[in-house]
Chains A and B, each alone.
Chain A
Amino acid sequence: MTTGRPDGGSARDRGRVRVHVRVRDWLERHALGLIALLTAVVLGVMLYLPVGVVFAEAVFVDGRLSLAHFREVLTDPFYVGVLSQVFTDPLAIGSHLAALGGWILAGFPSFPLGLFGFTAYQAALSTVASLALGLPAAYVLANYEFRGRRTIRSLTILPFVLPGIMVAVGFYAMFGQAGTLNAILGVVGLGPYPFIERNPLAIVIVAHAFYNAPLVARITVAAWESVDVRALETARSLGASPRRAFVDVVVPQLLPAVTTGALLTFIFTFMTFPIVLALGGLQLATVEVWVYARIQRLAFAEAATLAILETIVSLALTYAYLRYESAQAGMSRAAAPPPRERLFPDLRTALEPWRLAIVGYGVLTLVVFVGPMVSMVIGGFTDGGGFTLRHYEFLIRRQTEGASYQTLPWPAIRNSLLFGVATLFVAMPMGVVISVVTTRSGREGGHHSGRWATIIDTLAMVPLAVSGIVFGIGLLRGLVFGIPLIGGWRLQITGVVAIVAAHAVAAYPFVTRNVSPLLADLDPALVESARSLGASRYRALLDVELPLVASGIVAGAAFTFAISIGEFSSTVILASGGETYTMPVAVERYLGRRNGPAIAMGTVLLAITGLSFVVVDRVGGRFERD
């Protein structure tokens, strides 16, 4: 071409290209470091700072460091039950042992658990229930092929996004004396049974399982899909029965995921708040209920003290688990997932006892998971007089006629989706980088760096281990009101970026926990090969590791999206006064003297999220190898 620029120009262009390439090179080389740094900054500003602001209240009394608040709580039988005696007089070991002996001799009579004891007790029961309901789902989803398997897998975490109040509404509508289940039983002449009244604790635990069994299932499915089937075949060829091969080969490969699910469930239900009180009543109060009550009365020191103790319990468990996990890691595994069987290949097979058991389990999941959701949805189409569309008319009217300062359905939907996608972009790199940092340094080097990696990994779980209420109040006091700096300046962080960052902070632990176990199981030689071939650490991660842990990444992405969509407490604080409200916020704001409009919005939330999960999984599924 003759119209080209003079030579000088193109030389400059070449120079520019070279600079460009050098910058790109530099960025790529330092990408992991930069992301890690950004992650640290985001966590510092969006998590440690706000939480620290509130936690500081517990340890400073009149400006001086003091443990007086802790002493108060730990010596109060109301909080810690019989342990209060131990904390009151920790050195009287003899009398404590005597008391213990007396308790054993008396035949283990029940003893006062205190608020903390009861909270842990119900969390333990909830964890067991979640495992019991979640693991069979993982088994079926990972091992059988049937129509809609992928869709069901996508929808498993749908319960995760439901606001607590909607779960309560759904459970009353499903299990209440006039609820759906009793209506169905009534058709065959049974009932009505007072399911909730008879044992409120049981129904609280089922509700916890409603939230958390899907979590267990989703994490376990991801691990199951990366089980190395050749190891299974080897075991079979060595003479192991199918059952034996399962126990010896598959179970150890699933255990980290199952334990992760159990740990997350325990921590969640240990911090549970709205569900317990909405279904179980104040008699089943947990520590978090008290934290909330304290915050309501602006008694921050007491609230923070309780919240710190909660966090200590959760983090101690996390640390113990992560030590265990790192001891398990290193089973090098090249994913060759087992082929899936058809669930019902023909009628005869369908009637085998095992398949019938699966069908039975399916019915149970219909009752526990689908039941409350469907009953809630139905509630949105009824009023005192029967079928109605008035609640949806309300939504449409609000959208078309509502004033700009009112909460409108469409902006809520749009914001939820936008924040969800934005959160994916922030939380995925954060979670993956933390996985890489902790699994890599855990693997390299000796005991010391291993312990450090576990500590970092544990600290990375802080978002789950900190009371959501304390986090919320910290955001308000720290970021919305602003942190006073020298010279009368204030650092304020609100609005969209703050909401997305807060969502990312809440969500990245799920990415880490989904990805870490898989990453730790990868053969380190894969990365080393890539690097000796010229790939930077970042490229090796992108080209080699991530594709191999795709199932964990996709699961992490699904959780991230779900957390973002369902997040309420920090969103509502950061969105206050703005137009950055989301669907759960709209649900809460539409609650009135009848639940109809809120339920209609809750239904919209369910529908939109369900649809997006299917899309997320479909898009993610392209990166997974089937």
Chain B
Amino acid sequence: MNRRTLIRTLSGGTAGIALAGCLTQDDDENGNGNGNDTGNGEENGTDGENDTGNGEENETDGDDETTEPNLEGTLRIATYTSMVDGEEAAGTWLKDAFEEEYPDAEIDWTVPESGVNHYIQQANQGVDIDADLFFGLNVDDLVLVDGRADESLFRSVDRDALEHVDRIRDDPAVEFDDPDDRVLPYDTGYISLVYDENEVDDPETFDALTEEEYEGTLITQNAQQSDPGQAFLLWTIDAYGEDGYLDYWEELLDNDVRIIDDWSSAYSAYENEERPMVVSYSTDQVYTNRFDGDMSRSQIGFLEEQGYANPEGMAVFEDSEQVDLANAFVDFVLSNEAQAEIAVRNVQFPAVADEHVDLDESYAEYAHEPPEAVSLTYDQLSGNLDGWLDDWGQLVASR
């Protein structure tokens, strides 16, 4: 263990004090030159000299457009676990490739346990946001941010600063519909059914799921805490409308649907043949192929010839002092090479149009795209999501 990690281990990132407790003084932003030091006090201890350099630069940031963009220093990117800890994690490739292209820059991945909620709470409590960019934002996250954060958390996209921004395909599957244009997608995925063709046929429609043939066959996830579970719920709201989805779920429940906590447990139940159908991702066969699984148990069912799209996006924090570097990273993510890597490593679909990404032919063999992508827009979710989840949860739990 080198000194740097030792200090971190002892004090959880607080420089130089071998105690857990620490007192820090909030920086009042009218700082002069070195005022930034306390602002990212946590970082200074670990990163040494780099910080002071860009502290000076940031003084003029955004005021003068002719200034050369500052592309050195540390970029703190918040994301979710599998981005850095998964097998063949996209995060490791992104870091290495980006740092190679920008030798003065360093990416510092951080994985807050509660995702974007972490930053909403920091903002509301008046604590300095300890990240520059959020990588892995869904539409519903954005709705939550806007519903709960006291002030704006993310800044609008500076499209002029992004070379590749126009490559993003024109498709509801990658659309955030953000009125403030804060998020850019980097990939997308589709929620679909995964079923065992030895046991059941593709139900093809939502209505079929309520029929006797499919009684006791479906596993889905708790929409209150699971992404695919929530996507499936939203899909039914898209299909039956705000006024009709609860009736549909009544029927689903009557037909003995199982609603298991999270995707892992649900898939575990499916793997152990508890039931022949599970709500999952349309890329399931990629994994089945990778793990030598049985393809007949990895059939993809697109209900109503649709899949519910769950685009993943990135946004720069309002208070970031590394906006130039963050924009450079965003642009890098949308590059041809990065799009291909992310798609393969994340097993998702690229956010850019086909001509801007070179994907292996074989990728399409196992990663299926639905004929039609559906998703609820920011406007549809905004102000409604909490109520929908609540009503749905109460309906299920009171049975």
Contact = CB atoms under 8 A, between A and B. Distances in A.
Instruction: Please tell me whether chains A and B touch each other in their complex, using a CB distance cut-off of 8 A.
Output: yes
Given A169-B268, A197-B274, A383-B291, A403 B20 contact: no
A497 B21 contact: yes
A507 B110 CA distance: 29
B23 A490 contact: yes
A589 B393 CA distance: 27
Contact of B24 (A115, A296, A482): A482
Interface string B260-280: 111011011101111100000
B224 A165 contact: no
B6 to A, nearest CB: 10
Interface stretch (A132-140, A150-158, A271-279, A449-457): A271-279
B134 interface: no
Contacts of B224: 282, 289, 292-293, 296
Interface stretch (A332-340, A344-352, A539-547, A576-584): A576-584
Given A196-B269, A282-B396, A490 B24 contact: yes
Nearest to B92: A403
Contact of B9 (A172, A496, A593): A496
Interface in A201-247: none
B14 interface: yes
Interface string A523-557: 00000000000000000000000000000000000
Nearest to B261: A277
B95 to A, nearest CB: 7
B347 interface: yes
A172 B268 contact: yes
Interface in A184-211: 194, 196-197, 200
A78 B8 CA distance: 47
A282 B393 contact: yes
Interface residues of A, number: 83
B291 A385 contact: yes
A547 B5 CA distance: 41
Contacts of B272: 172-173, 176-179
Given A293-B224, A496-B9, A579-B9, A405 B84 contact: yes
Q: Is the interface of B mostly helix, strand, loop or mixed?
A: mixed
Interface in A385-413: 385-386, 394, 403-407
B9 A78 contact: no
A372 B261 CA distance: 19
Interface string B112-128: 11100110111001110
Interface in A566-601: 572-574, 576-580, 588-598
Contact of A385 (B11, B28, B87, B292): B292
Interface string B90-114: 0010010000000000001111111
B136 interface: no
A289 to B, nearest CB: 8
Contacts of A476: 113-114, 118, 121
Most buried by B among A178, A282, A285, A497: A282
A285 B25 CA distance: 43
Contact of B265 (A168, A292, A297): A168
B111 A576 contact: yes
Interface string B6-17: 001111111000
Nearest to B224: A293
Interface residues of B, number: 81
B222 interface: yes
Contacts of B52: none
A277 B220 CA distance: 12
B225 to A, nearest CB: 6
A489 B268 contact: no
B19 A176 contact: no
A495 interface: yes
Contacts of A487: 25
Given A488-B26, A579-B9, A297 B386 contact: yes
Interface in A260-316: 274, 276-279, 281-283, 285, 289-290, 292-293, 296-299
B265 A279 contact: yes
B12 A580 contact: yes
A298 B148 contact: yes
A481 B125 contact: yes
A82 to B, nearest CB: 13
Contacts of B117: 296, 298
Contact of B259 (A177, A178, A283, A494): A283
A591 B264 contact: yes
Lowest 5 A-B CB distances belong to which pairs? A495-B12, A176-B272, A384-B293, A385-B292, A497-B20
15 contacts: A178-B273, A277-B262, A281-B258, A283-B399, A285-B393, A298-B121, A384-B292, A394-B87, A403-B92, A406-B84, A490-B23, A492-B24, A496-B9, A577-B130, A592-B82
Given A196-B274, A482-B127, A588-B81, 16 more contacts: A176-B273, A176-B274, A178-B271, A179-B272, A196-B269, A277-B222, A277-B265, A279-B260, A383-B292, A476-B121, A477-B125, A495-B14, A573-B114, A578-B8, A591-B264, A592-B82
Interface of A: 78, 112, 115, 165, 168-169, 172-173, 176-179, 194, 196-197, 200, 274, 276-279, 281-283, 285, 289-290, 292-293, 296-299, 383-386, 394, 403-407, 472-473, 476-477, 481-482, 484-485, 487-498, 501, 572-574, 576-580, 588-598
Interface of B: 5, 8-14, 19-26, 28, 81-82, 84-87, 89, 92, 95, 108-114, 117-118, 120-122, 125-127, 130, 144, 148, 216, 222, 224-225, 253, 258-262, 264-265, 267-269, 271-275, 281, 284, 287-288, 291-294, 347, 386, 389, 393-394, 396-399
